[in-house]
């Protein structure tokens, strides 16, 4: 790991840059998986932390004086900040509704027809939720930044609940049609194992 970040002249174009002061980090929020993370310490940095995407990696720049515990807190916080910035350019509620219709048609025979599908920011203990009686589906904003197949799985999981409320054999038979169910569940379980995010949909009480 380089002691100092590279100069602006040698650094490739950045995207989704986030920056914060070190004075008031607060509690580190839960953060979705965001690929490889490289931490670069700099003796020239005294009171600021910044982060940016570089290909499939996230570069986090911190002061050299930081402890390992502070580093972990700030890396988590900056990943969350980047994800929030990037979410503004991601699928909106209308696009999410259209995607739900596509997934329902392809994997559920068009049988699941939600009344509404939207992103929410108040679901910190689950990836998604469904209220079958009202036909509403809500996905956690914490899914922003995760692979598309993972978001599709969570959305399809909630769509299936419009047809089967519980998590019995009939429910899982519906999800067998989606070829990336196990891969997506493994991804989410890996994030949970890292201790950074809420439980996978299968562990929810709908």
* pLDDT 10s digits, 17-60: 555 544 434 333 333 344 689 999 998 888 899 998 887 789 99
Per-residue confidence (pLDDT) for residue 20, from 0 to 100: 52
Q: How many CA atoms lie within 13 A of 47 on its CB side?
A: 3
Within 10 angstroms of residue 50's Cβ, the number of other Cβ atoms is 17
Of 79, 81, 8, 10, the closest CA to residue 39 belongs to 79
> How confident is the model over 57-71, as pLDDT tens digits?
899 999 999 999 999
Residue pair 128/140 in contact by the 8 Å Cβ criterion: yes
In the numeric block, which tokens belong to residue 83? 């994800």
């Amino acid at each position: 790991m380089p002691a100092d970040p590279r100069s602006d002249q040698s650094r490739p174009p950045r995207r989704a840059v986030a920056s914060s002061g070190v004075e008031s980090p607060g509690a580190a929020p839960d953060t979705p998986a965001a690929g490889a993370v490289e931490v670069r310490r700099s003796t020239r940095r005294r009171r600021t932390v910044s982060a940016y995407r570089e290909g499939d990696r996230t570069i986090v720049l911190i002061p050299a004086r930081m402890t390992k515990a502070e580093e972990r807190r700030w890396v988590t916080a900056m990943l969350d900040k980047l994800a929030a910035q990037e979410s503004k350019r991601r699928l909106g509620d209308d696009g999410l509704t259209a995607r739900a219709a596509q997934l329902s048609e392809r994997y559920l025979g068009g049988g699941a027809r939600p009344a509404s599908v939207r992103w929410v920011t108040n679901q910190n203990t689950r990836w998604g939720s469904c209220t079958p009686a009202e036909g509403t589906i809500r996905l956690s904003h914490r899914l922003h930044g995760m692979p598309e197949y993972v978001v599709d799985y969570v959305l399809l999981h909630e769509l299936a609940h419009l047809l089967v409320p519980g998590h019995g054999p009939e429910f899982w038979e519906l999800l067998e049609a989606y070829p990336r169910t196990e891969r997506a569940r493994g991804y989410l379980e890996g994030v949970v194992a890292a201790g950074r995010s809420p439980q996978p949909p299968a562990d929810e009480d709908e």
